[in-house]
Structure 1
Amino acid sequence: MKILRIYQDDIKSVTTNWAAALVIIALMFLPSLYAWFNIKASWDPYGHTGGIPIAVVNEDNGTVLRGKKINIGKEVVNSLKQNKSLGWDFVDAKKADQGVKHGDYFASITIPNDFSEKIGTVLSDNPQKPVLIYVVNEKINAIAPKITAKGATGIKEQISKNFVKTANGVIFDIFNRLGIELQKNLPDIEKLKTMIFWLNDHLAEAENIINTANQDADQAEKIVADLQVKLNEVDSIMGRAQQLSGQLTTFFDSNQETFENLAPAVKQNLIYMEQTAADVEQVTGILLSNTDSSEERQSALNDGITRLTALIRAETLLINLLNQINDLGTAPLFANEITQLNKQKDSAESLLSNLKTIQSLGTPSQDLLVRTNRIASDLSSGLTQLVNQYDSKIARKFAQISAAAKQVPVNANEFFTNADQTLSQIKKILQDAAAGIAIGKRDLALIKRDFPAVKQKITNLANQIREFEKTEDIRDIIDLLRNDVKKESDFFAEPVLLKEKRLFPIPNYGSAMSPFFTTLALWVGATLLISLIPVEISGLPGTYHPNHVYLGRFLTFLTIALCQSLIVTAGDILLLKTYVVDKPWFILFGLLISAIFMLITYTLVSIFGNVGKGLAIVFLVLQISGAGGTFPVQVMPSFFQKLHPFLPFTYAISLMREAVGGIEWDVAKHDLAILSVMTAITLIFGLVLKGPIEKYGGTLQKKAKESRLIH
């Protein structure tokens, strides 16, 4: 009853004294002004960066690259004129330097006179990186340099992106034109091949003519003349083909490491397994037809176990290889083949088990031998099926161009080199032959002597062409080189895109900061109350127990604090229109936090007097720095990181943030639990120490008040 009497007396005093009522009302509204002004001032600072002046100086002289004039600096300036993210001002170097020093500009960005020239060195043997000169005045403002630095970085990244896009565009354009040229000259390449085959087919005829040249010189001369005409055509075609071959070789030499050839090894392994399975089937056939314990049967049995063990090992290695290839891709390309191989491996293991059983029994049953032979037959048939479907299914699943491309530059270059050398030699020999026909049998004898070498070279060249056509297709190479230049260059300029997912989206910076400023305002409001309203009551000593005074006067402070909280939280929502997902909880959490803050500050002053007021301010300062309200606590010095878990602000701000962004009740319950513990500790602290400290500290306070400086 005494506690409520104190509270009722305080309410009566306020309601019957208009001056006191005005002061109390002012105390209710003052904290809200603190929060509202700060929230509104920081509403959207990064949305108005266009007002931050930055000087841009372009001294780039440009350069001439491959006969074309370029000026990257001018292009950057034109781009910035369309960019409104910052207040770009295009001035000369002197004005920029003076402006940054005197605070007219927050920073300056200078494009040096050799900027374009250094970019052009990328095509030389000694490429040099161009440099943008960024000057910032950091004493004007703490945040502005971070924003201007972002702008400078953006310019650098934009230049780099455009450069990569342009450079890749040129490269892919060259590849595309090379593919087009190959396509255009494909008839000539085919004609070259036809000519070489024609020469190869007519070598025997030429040899017969040489052998009978003495009897039919005129006919030999005609044949040689025909060959020379054909060789001239081949030589003309070869010149163009060699040029294309050189370009093709350059391309594949630079990309050789990306072309792997796994398919032949896989096929060879399958053929080996097929043959091994067939051998094992023969062994089981021998066992089935010869059931006694003869030496031949034992030898066949041992041979079958050995071959079957090797087959299982080969199947295991191939399955592991295909699994590794599957792991590299997004889809299991060889799932069916692995399933088939696992099935064949199971059959092989079952067959091996049967053979070992037969070996241990000595004289096995006919039924076991029949089953063993059937398993061997099925195993052989299954592997034969895999080999038969290799070309139509398995080989296609390997990167055909990648598998073939590794040998393309080597074969093509060797082919055209040998062809050029061979055709030169053939041409010379035929010239000699023509001269030989003209001058008689003496020269014909020389031609006859050299002709076997010519015949061998042409035959080798024709064979090389046929081998090339077995493994390569010139049309596949053309398809690889031809591409969409724009799409390819765009991809390599920005190969990775970032997809942002906002988990708890808050539309503006002011709303995001409202939990901090609202919490801060509630502590400031509590501090104002303990500074202006006495925690002790006037009356006869001994009328009330210290705990009665402590709790009774606290109800008065609590009432005012709750009004402060209601005004500031409702004003955040209704006046400032701050973004709050859970508005009722925002107000309720504010009321709870205000009550806790009021209890803490009230208890400090109630127990320690004026010293308690100082402690409340010290706590305020520590909490502003260490609660992580503005910057993440992880970026603060270790002292504040260690202090962070013990500050009421830490959990109060977190609780208000939950209401603003959307409540995760696991987090909210944790914060409420910690604040409840702090409340209980404070209440126990106040009830236990209020009486003793008032009893023994009264003299000290009385003497302090007599100074008329401390109340």
Structure 2
Amino acid sequence: MSRITEIVRGDLKAAGRNVMTGIVLFGLVVIPMLFAVFNVLASWDPFSRTDELKIAVASADKGHESDLAPISLNLGDQVLSQLSRNEQIDWVITGTDDAVEGTKSGEYYASIVLPEDFSTSLLTFYTAGTEPTQLDLYTNEKKNALSTVLTEQGAEGVITQINDTFAEIIGSVGLGVVSSLDNYLEEDDTKAAIDRIEARVENIGVQLRAGAQTMRSLTGMLDSTAPLLEGAGNIARAAGAQFDDTGSDLGGGADATDSLDSTLRSAAASLEEALSSTADSYSAVGDRLDSLFDSAGNAGTGTAATFTDLAARVQQQTDGFRAVRETLDDTVGAPLPAGAQAGYDRALAGLDAAIDRSDDLHDRLTQTAQDLTDDTADAQASRQSVQDALDRASSAVDSAVTSYRQDLQPQMTQLGDTLDDLGDSIGTVREDLEGVTASFADSPGSLQETLDRARSATVSIADKLEEHADRFEEMADALSTAGETGDFSKLARAAGDDPQALASQLAAPVAVDREAVFPVASFGAGMTPLYVTLSLWVGALLTAVFVRPRVDGEGETYTRAQAYLGRFGIFALTGLAQATMVALGMIVFVQVGAAHPFLFTLCCWVTSLVFQLIVYTLVLSLGSAGKAVAVLLLVLQVSGGGGAYPLQLLPGWFQVLSPWLPATHAIDAMRAAIAGVYRGDLWIELGILLLFAVPFLVLGLWLRGLLDGYNRTTTEAIEKTKVMA
């Protein structure tokens, strides 16, 4: 430890004795602060001076003469007049050609051209089939990268103001024209026009009232649909319950289908196995018959026992035949279709014959065993009788096998497949019923919920239509009264005494009460984490350029670890000074309004130390190549750190790379310090940031020696160029 502090003290003394070194260190400390301060101030509030953006407006409007009143109106000229007095945007009133050409040359950021039918389109909005008024908007996307966003999206900048102001002025002009009709209506020849207006207004009121009545009828129809929907749901639920209830016909039938299928396949397998094993057994008995009789004279008692055992086994086979025969008779015969009954009968007849012949063989074997025991048998006669019985039994079994395979097995297989299909169909119907039942339930997206929403919508629409119908009837009464009495003031009041106020309401009928969860002072304050992080990385790069990373005497006077940690001391002190100056500049001079000033300063300290360690280790371990790697990391972190744009808007590979960049976590930690900490997010990000120091400490303390050969080769190659240093 003393060796490390010795290196640090030596570096500080050397910096204090040399004026030029002190000047360089002062510049290293100040430059990151200047970088951050200038960039944050430049982007502090870029949307507050939109009144200096030049937007050209031109009108090609030819005006409009209404069939209600013989007066010509040119709303385009009135719009230009209103815009010339508006100070929210630097409106430039000009001609169509100049507006378009000025946008191309960059004199204007955008231009708006009112079409020839502008007045006609606005003043005939009430006519069925009328399309919305179209304005031609020209934008110069080459003039500025942000201008495209401002003009095309209009979410946070100039175009929002253009739309709001323009809509308000257009509404003011249109409603002002309606209000000013009072002057014209005071003339003697307006009675015919009044009658036409009254008829149209009254007709609109009638149509609105009819529309409201239609909505009421639709509401009643929806109300009457509710019981039908409920009944359908009950039916579906009852049907589903029938499938689940094994005691019901449907549930029992479903289970019975599965049981019958299982029984059929089990019976088929049992019969096939019994017939095959019996045929093999009889063949084996036939092969041993001669040897048994030949040995009868020498060991009569033993041979008799063998015949007794054979008889018992034949009896077992016969009992197995009878069990399979009963199973076929009980479970298979009934479900078979009528066309398969003849084959089924033949298979049973063959099986009965095999049972009879097996009984005969059993009796013959039993008698032979008894004769051998009593020593009363004629060997040749017994042999022949047993052989005949065995041949008949084998022949009967073979016939039963043939009959089963030809007459019964195909029918049982077909019936099993049919039962499988029936089981699948039952399962499908059950699933369909479950889906239908779910759609009838009161869950989100169900038919009941949709019906409730539709009913609420029809009631609301009907109320609105009746409200507007009342207003049109009131206007029709006012027109009628004005025509009879000559007092047209009521008509003006129907349109509104203050067109400007009404136009403002129409332009922005909905107001948003914006409440920031984690507020920041301005757009620039929100960009502060990015610019501060970049400034500290730039500071680390500059420090690595001006401060020698290698210590004289490394490997001789000092060990590698001592030299590494000792020289890092001057890097760390420089980084802390840079971070302190940047934090003070943001808090005191720029006044970013950090919610936690000390935590913001702490974030700057930790970020600067980690950045200094990374850059210092890269340059010490890789030489000039390390500087190049540090610059490459800076390039990646400008956008990959997520300081300017949300990561979700960046390309996919940026989103994958971002968590592996130290700047990402430094920026997130500073955001928490400026806007507010949520569930310890600041400490989590600082912890992750500190983890980036671990691999570089391993490289600097232990792995760096492996790169000595590479560094010597690289240094010699650079010196040979006599250009690079």
Equivalent of residue 250 in structure 1, options 203, 207, 225: 207
In the TM superposition, residue 55 of structure 1 has moved relative to its aligned partner by 1.2
In the TM superposition, residue 170 of structure 1 has moved relative to its aligned partner by 12
1: distance between equivalents of 2:90 and 2:148?
14
| SS of residue matched to 1:135 | strand
The corresponding residue for 1:137 is 140
2: distance between equivalents of 1:575 and 1:686?
38
The corresponding residue for 2:445 is none
The corresponding residue for 1:42 is 43
- 1:558 matched to 2:569? The reply is no
Equivalent of residue 517 in structure 1, options 531, 538, 545: 531
The amino acid of 1:133's aligned partner reads D
Change (3 A) 1:156 1:34: closer
Change (3 A) 1:246 1:48: closer
| SS of residue matched to 2:65 | strand
The corresponding residue for 2:122 is 119
- 1:675 matched to 2:689? The reply is yes
Instruction: Provide TM-score, normalisation by structure 1.
Output: 0.56
CA contact (8 A) 2:103 2:140 kept: yes
The corresponding residue for 2:519 is 505
1: distance between equivalents of 2:203 and 2:107?
60
Change (3 A) 1:491 1:59: closer
The corresponding residue for 2:86 is 83
The corresponding residue for 1:629 is 643
CA contact (8 A) 2:60 2:114 kept: yes
- 1:259 matched to 2:216? The reply is yes
The amino acid of 2:49's aligned partner reads H
The corresponding residue for 1:652 is 666
1: distance between equivalents of 2:61 and 2:203?
39
- 1:93 matched to 2:96? The reply is yes
Within 5 Å, which residues of 2 pair with 1:77-226? Answer: 77-149=80-152, 150=154, 151-152=158-159, 155-156=162-163
- 1:595 matched to 2:589? The reply is no
The amino acid of 1:526's aligned partner reads A
Change (3 A) 1:485 1:55: closer
- 1:611 matched to 2:625? The reply is yes
CA contact (8 A) 1:554 1:602 kept: yes
CA contact (8 A) 1:516 1:629 kept: yes
Change (3 A) 1:595 1:509: same
Dislocated runs of 4+, deviation >6 Å: 161-171, 242-248, 261-267, 323-331, 483-493
Of 682-691 and 549-558, the range deviating more from structure 2? 682-691
The amino acid of 2:22's aligned partner reads A
Change (3 A) 1:697 1:257: same
1: distance between equivalents of 2:645 and 2:551?
42
The amino acid of 1:122's aligned partner reads F
| Residue deviations 1:68-112 (CA, integer Å, cap 9, x gap) | 543332343244334333211111223323322322222211112
The corresponding residue for 1:413 is none
The amino acid of 1:22's aligned partner reads I
The amino acid of 2:86's aligned partner reads N
1: distance between equivalents of 2:165 and 2:554?
79
The amino acid of 2:212's aligned partner reads N
Within 5 Å, which residues of 2 pair with 1:337-348? Answer: none
- 1:51 matched to 2:52? The reply is yes
Q: How many residues align?
A: 447
Of 109-118 and 251-260, the range deviating more from structure 2? 251-260
Within 5 Å, which residues of 2 pair with 1:473-512? Answer: 496-512=510-526
2: distance between equivalents of 1:330 and 1:165?
37
List gaps (5 residues or longer) in structure 1.
172-241, 270-316, 318-322, 332-397, 409-482
2: distance between equivalents of 1:330 and 1:624?
54
In the TM superposition, residue 13 of structure 1 has moved relative to its aligned partner by 0.8
The corresponding residue for 2:654 is 640
Within 5 Å, which residues of 2 pair with 1:386-425? Answer: none
2: distance between equivalents of 1:515 and 1:128?
48
| SS of residue matched to 2:48 | helix
| SS of residue matched to 1:523 | helix
Identity %: 30
CA contact (8 A) 1:54 1:148 kept: no
The corresponding residue for 2:63 is 62
| SS of residue matched to 1:579 | coil
2: distance between equivalents of 1:599 and 1:612?
12
In the TM superposition, residue 140 of structure 1 has moved relative to its aligned partner by 1.9
In the TM superposition, residue 488 of structure 1 has moved relative to its aligned partner by 11
| SS of residue matched to 1:46 | coil
In the TM superposition, residue 30 of structure 1 has moved relative to its aligned partner by 1.4
| SS of residue matched to 1:20 | helix
In the TM superposition, residue 697 of structure 1 has moved relative to its aligned partner by 3.6
In the TM superposition, residue 530 of structure 1 has moved relative to its aligned partner by 0.8
1: distance between equivalents of 2:80 and 2:569?
66
Change (3 A) 1:40 1:492: closer
| SS of residue matched to 1:664 | coil
- 1:542 matched to 2:547? The reply is no
| Residue deviations 1:403-422 (CA, integer Å, cap 9, x gap) | xx9xx9xxxxxxxxxxxxxx
The corresponding residue for 2:547 is 533
| SS of residue matched to 1:672 | helix
| SS of residue matched to 2:145 | coil
The amino acid of 2:38's aligned partner reads F
In the TM superposition, residue 9 of structure 1 has moved relative to its aligned partner by 1.2
Change (3 A) 1:15 1:264: closer
In the TM superposition, residue 564 of structure 1 has moved relative to its aligned partner by 0.8
2: distance between equivalents of 1:7 and 1:18?
18
Change (3 A) 1:551 1:257: farther
In the TM superposition, residue 129 of structure 1 has moved relative to its aligned partner by 3.2
1: distance between equivalents of 2:616 and 2:136?
56
| Residue deviations 1:616-657 (CA, integer Å, cap 9, x gap) | 000000100211211222212222122111111111111111
Of 100-109 and 595-604, the range deviating more from structure 2? 100-109
Within 5 Å, which residues of 2 pair with 1:386-465? Answer: none
| SS of residue matched to 1:259 | helix
CA contact (8 A) 2:63 2:74 kept: yes
The amino acid of 1:503's aligned partner reads V
- 1:72 matched to 2:94? The reply is no
| Residue deviations 1:210-240 (CA, integer Å, cap 9, x gap) | xxxxxxxxxxxxxxxxxxxxxxxxxxxxxxx
Change (3 A) 1:691 1:490: closer
In the TM superposition, residue 11 of structure 1 has moved relative to its aligned partner by 1.1
List gaps (5 residues or longer) in structure 2.
179-198, 227-440, 442-447, 470-492
Of 528-537 and 493-502, the range deviating more from structure 2? 493-502
The corresponding residue for 2:254 is none
| SS of residue matched to 1:127 | coil
Change (3 A) 1:490 1:251: farther
Change (3 A) 1:166 1:541: closer
Instruction: Provide TM-score, normalisation by structure 2.
Output: 0.55
In the TM superposition, residue 595 of structure 1 has moved relative to its aligned partner by 0.4
- 1:685 matched to 2:699? The reply is yes
The corresponding residue for 1:300 is none
Of 91-100 and 700-709, the range deviating more from structure 2? 700-709
In the TM superposition, residue 683 of structure 1 has moved relative to its aligned partner by 1.6
CA contact (8 A) 1:527 1:613 kept: yes
CA contact (8 A) 2:164 2:508 kept: no
2: distance between equivalents of 1:484 and 1:546?
91
| Residue deviations 1:42-82 (CA, integer Å, cap 9, x gap) | 22211111111121112222212332543332343244334
CA contact (8 A) 1:4 1:552 kept: yes
Change (3 A) 1:326 1:541: closer
2: distance between equivalents of 1:564 and 1:575?
15
2: distance between equivalents of 1:69 and 1:603?
80
In the TM superposition, residue 611 of structure 1 has moved relative to its aligned partner by 0.3
Equivalent of residue 677 in structure 2, options 663, 668, 671: 663
In the TM superposition, residue 707 of structure 1 has moved relative to its aligned partner by 4.7
